[in-house]
Amino acid sequence: MSGLLFIFCIYGLGASASSTQPRKSTEKCQDIIRHPKLYLQLEGEPAVIRCPYLRYQKLNSSKFHFNITWHKNDSGRTIPEKQERTRIWAEGESLWILPASVEDSGSYICTVRNSSYCAQMSIQLTVYDKVNASLPFNSYKQILFTATSGKLVCPELRNFISKDTALEVNWYKDSVLLDKNSENFTVVKGSPFLLIKHISLGDSGYYICEMIFTQEGKKYNITRRIELQVIEKKKDIVPVIVYPNQETILTALGSKLIIPCKVFLGLGEQSSTWLRWTANNSLVTNVYKEGRVSEGERQEFSENNENYIEVPLVFDPVLKEDMYTDFKCFVHNTVGYQMLLAKVREAPTFSWWIVMAPVLLIFSVLGGIWMHRCWKQRAEKAYVLTHSEMLSNEDEPSTP
């Protein structure tokens, strides 16, 4: 019984200690958004995640001051600002992990809050080891056209570029270092760009860009893997949906969800391209007239001199019925069309084994104590019987 009391005391103290840890309150947050962007990071290298709240007009206001905090999805503890010997720290709208490990993979949540408004955004980080570095889904996709000159961009370097140090990036194609001033490739000094002259279909493939980042006197490699798709040039091309890049979107019931549909047009005209969302093959605007599910504002923009359009699908909030609805992003122009199915599914939010683990541990310990006592009692009983028999044998008279 004393052993049982000791176990419960230890467990109670552990529970009491854990309850005093600071936890992130979400009671006053009006918006809880799962952002679709995926950060890719090689193990052992620095990772920086940026809170994407500035992209949404509702939060992008210079008139109000917002406080930003970070925590990981499986932990309610707020990630502190940088301290001595800290590997993970928050710095404004950015979260630093230096260096990153495979165990750091997961969802990170930035909370944007002021006196009257609160929003949370969940961003996914995937840290992969060198064994899986060559897998296709660990690459950033970029598109260029034949018979022109274009450039590749080494992505996600913003936080690693210092005003005091000249940027130097090395480029590889199929694991072979490219000459910085070769006939077809030119590495633009002091920039993240690789110029490709007279682009042909043979330029398709995988490229790697690398740079050195120095933090407090220690040097780290920054590596990005790019999959280049080369398309034959036309005045207008069939629009290509580049995002979302997966069919299933995980979210939580009751939360706000935004799924951007980003379409690549190349040199095609943005105004002549039709982009809409449908629900079970009917326009979202016709199905959800009350506005719970709606299309966000259409955005037309350019990246690397190529045209894009984007229309987000907004759930406010997500309901169970959305799990059984086929949402499709549909785009077409004068050349052709493309359609992408996006399935909304409920993300696992709770694991019973977390609750049952302490109980199972207690029963395992009690079971071990019980088995030990039974074994000990049997051993003592066997010893007593054996000893008694030996004494009886000694007392019996021997026969001549």
CA–CA distance, 281 with 286 (Å, rounded to integer): 11
Locate CATH 2.60.40.10 in the chain.
32-131, 139-231, 240-346
Q: What is the mean pLDDT of residues 116-141?
A: 80
What does the pLDDT read at residue 385? 47
Mean pLDDT of 220-249: 83
pLDDT over 90 for what percent of the chain? 27
Residue 393 has pLDDT above 60, yes or no: no
**pTM, rounded to two decimals:** 0.55
Residue 169 CB-density burial (10 A; 0-12 exposed, 13-18 middle, 19+ buried): buried
Q: What is the pLDDT of residue 248?
A: 86
Q: What is the pLDDT of residues 257-291, one digit of tens each?
A: 999 999 998 877 777 789 999 999 999 999 999 99
Closest CA to 334 of 237, 233, 266, 242: 237
pLDDT at 18 over 60: no
CATH for 32-131, options being 3.40.250.10, 2.60.40.1840, 3.40.50.150, 2.60.40.10: 2.60.40.10
The mean pLDDT of 35-44, rounded to a whole number, is: 82
Cis peptide upstream of residue 244 (ω within 30 degrees of 0): yes
pLDDT band at 216 (very low <50, low <70, confident <90, very high): confident
Q: Is the pLDDT of residue 106 over 80?
A: yes
Which CATH number does 139-231 carry? Answer: 2.60.40.10
Tokens of 258: 């935004």
Confidence band, pLDDT 50/70/90 cuts, at residue 30: low
pLDDT score, position 82: 80
Mean pLDDT, rounded, for 307-318: 92
Mean pLDDT of the chain: 78
In CATH, the architecture of 240-346 is Sandwich (2.60)
pLDDT recorded at residue 3: 44
C-alpha dihedral sign at 271, 241, 151, 236: negative
